[in-house]
Amino acid sequence: MATSANIGTPGTAALVPPAPGAAALVPPVPAPSALGPPAPSRARPELEPEPSGLGERILIGTFVAVPMIALLAAIPLAWGWGLGWHDIVIAVAFYVIAGLGISMGYHRYFTHGSFKAVRPFKIALAVAGSLAIEGPVLTWVADHRRHHKYSDAEGDPHSPWRFGNDWKALTKGLAYAHIGWLFDPNRTSQEKFCPDWLADDDIRRLSRWFPGLVAVSLLAPALIGGLWAWSWTAAITAFFWASLVRVAFLHHVTWSINSICHTFGEEEFEVRDKSRNVNWLAILSFGESWHNLHHADPTCARHGVLKGQVDVAARSIWIAEKLGWVYDVRWPDEARLTGKQRAGRSRKLGSMTKRAVRSPG
């Protein structure tokens, strides 16, 4: 992908070291030996040899534009027509399922390995994440692992700082990080960034079934709404609110992590990039907007690690652990995180933290 060398601090992009925890995020690249670097034939390219076609980009545009138009139309429509409590219940239910599928599944499990899951729950997380209509799991994971490898430096697929630091460049960068990057024809190599899940038959199959899961995500709310009220009108309003508006709203919340959470907010932990915490997005994003800690410790299962930081996905992982659906959870480690806190920051860590054992006396 064509990028600018003035991402972040001008002239320093190539000098940025790998992100903390990056070794756990992407397959290791063989180190140069005394005889020089490995042969080019052994290195896996980071981009697919064939870019996405015009038809694929048009399809992406359709799924971006149509729900967005529905979202813009939602406000005036809500005042006098077509919104009932059935629509709200269905929309919230699908929002929570798909949102946790992204936060717990696509992000914390499939991308970062924050926990291990039994096979039925692994499949459930992949299906739930697909209902968000943000792409097949393999595509999502490959893009996000590449983002962490190059976060806010050259090679990051969606950094808001790619065009520079002045307000014009940043305005353009925010638009690109929020939506524009989706139309880049260059595609992240799945063989390079997620060979682990490419080797998983279940995940390969579910990625191929993504178009069918998109149809389920869009049509199931209408079917439920129509059957609930036994009315074609109820089916149409459920499709509008619980399919189109719900998908658009979740999309913009997710994309805000790429744009807003790399531009504005609080920095509680030391990171090499510009990731920040944005508290007003925390509940809507299921805890994803505690983004500064996530980039400081990418494999940690809880992103809102400080007291008072609500992290719905982390609590859901905790419940799943109690039920035996997940195990080997990477909960926050007090000793590690205390060392990562910025100077002058002394907020205490919250629940689920593994505390340091202190000797008596």
Mean pLDDT calculated for residue range 117-132: 98
pLDDT tens for each residue of 307-347 = 999 999 999 999 999 999 999 999 999 888 888 888 767 67
Torsions phi, psi for 266 (to 5 deg)? -100, 145
pLDDT at position 150 is: 94
Please state, as a whole number, how many other Cβ atoms lie within 10 Å of the Cβ of residue 76. Answer: 9
Q: How far apart are CA 115 and CA 246, in angstroms?
A: 28
Q: pTM for the full model?
A: 0.80
What does the CA dihedral 136, 312, 244, 175 come to, rounded to 10 degrees? Answer: -70
Q: How far apart are CA 8 and CA 6, in angstroms?
A: 6
pLDDT at position 79 is: 55
Tokens 């692994």: give the residue.
122
Q: How far apart are CA 7 and CA 360, in angstroms?
A: 50
**What would the two tokens of residue 358 be?**
């202190």
Close Cβ partners of 71 (under 8 Å, ≥ 6 residues apart) = 244, 245, 248, 249, 252
**pLDDT of 244 strictly over 80:** yes
**pLDDT of 22 strictly over 60:** no
Q: How far apart are CA 198 and CA 274, in angstroms?
A: 31
DSSP 326: E
Please list the alpha-helical segments (H only) found in the chain.
54-80, 85-100, 119-130, 137-149, 167-178, 190-193, 195-198, 201-208, 210-229, 232-238, 246-259, 291-296, 312-322, 334-340
Q: How far apart are CA 240 and CA 69, in angstroms?
A: 11
The mean of the pLDDT values for the chain is: 82
Of 152, 164, 163, 133, nearest to 68 by C-alpha is: 133
Confidence of residue 357 (pLDDT cuts 50, 70, 90): low
Taking the alpha carbons of 297, 96, 276, 22 in that order, is the dihedral positive or negative?
positive
Measured over all CA atoms, what is the biggest interatomic distance in the chain, rounded to whole angstroms? 74
Of 247, 260, 197, 258, nearest to 220 by C-alpha is: 247
pLDDT at position 272 is: 92
Distance from first CA to last CA of the chain, Å, rounded?
Answer: 58
pLDDT tens for each residue of 301-313 = 999 999 999 999 9
Share of the chain above pLDDT 90, in %: 58
pLDDT at position 168 is: 85
pLDDT tens for each residue of 157-169 = 999 889 988 888 8
**pLDDT of 2 strictly over 80:** no
Taking phi first (over 0 means left), then psi (-120 to 50 degrees means alpha), and beta for anything else, what does residue 242 get? alpha
Cβ distance 64 to 56 under 8 Å?
Answer: no
CA 138 to chain centre: 13
**What would the two tokens of residue 116 be?**
């291990």
Q: Which residues pair with 341 in a beta bridge?
A: 269
pLDDT at position 84 is: 86
pLDDT tens for each residue of 191-200 = 999 999 999 9
Helix axes 137-149, 119-130, angle to 10 degrees: 90
**pLDDT of 254 strictly over 60:** yes
Q: Which residue has the higher pLDDT, 124 or 256?
A: 124
Tokens 């097949």: give the residue.
136
**What would the two tokens of residue 220 be?**
């199931």
pLDDT tens for each residue of 34-69 = 333 344 445 666 655 555 455 544 654 454 556 666
